[in-house]
Amino acid sequence: MAGDLGSWPPTQATVLLEVLKKAGLEPEASRTREGIQVTVPDEQVDDANRILVANMDEIAQAARAPSAGRRRPRTEQPTSRQQRTARASSERPLPTQRLTRLGRPLGLFLVLLMLALLAPVGLRIPLLVFGVGAVIYLIGKQAQRDDGGGSD
């Protein structure tokens, strides 16, 4: 049976295998979905773990070093303020989208306002109160739908 040293990214697995071979151990590697699976014979597990810990800086450095064939051109990194602005604008709906969402409640309120103007004096206040309540309810339901919280 073989002792498992875990799954590693290819660059780190390469360095780990070299370090273990230099120490006289017999590591084996196999490719998996998670990366490169490194194993050693059971009797070498303790030595392999000790060597792994002793050379962790070298293995970690391999992860930070750019790959020879995969160099990406340097692009200007946006400042933190630019990142915050871009993130905030991507999460926030456009003004036209907000107005579109408020269209139905505002339309209902305008119709009720016109009815209140045409209604007798005694019905005006109840119509206006009902209109404001209906607008608040519709805006709340719309916000609930947009957040995905609950059903209609």
**Sequence ranges of the domains in the chain:** 2-64, 90-147
- What letter represents residue 10's amino acid? P
pTM, two decimal places? 0.42
Degrees to nearest 5, angle at CA 83 with 81 and 87: 120
Cβ(114)–Cβ(124) below 8 Å? no
Domain 2-64, architecture per CATH: 2-Layer Sandwich (3.30)
Coil, helix or strand at residue 54: helix
Summarised one tens digit per residue, pLDDT across range 92-128 is: 777 777 777 778 888 888 888 888 889 898 888 888 8
pLDDT digits (tens, 9 = 90+) for 2-34: 777 888 888 888 888 888 888 888 888 888 888
* pLDDT (tens digit per residue) in 39-92: 888 888 888 888 888 888 888 887 777 655 555 555 555 566 666 666 666 667
**79 is written with which tokens?**
């400042």
Q: Report the C-alpha gap between 126 and 129 in whole angstroms.
A: 5
Q: How many CA atoms lie within 13 A of 120 on its CB side?
A: 1
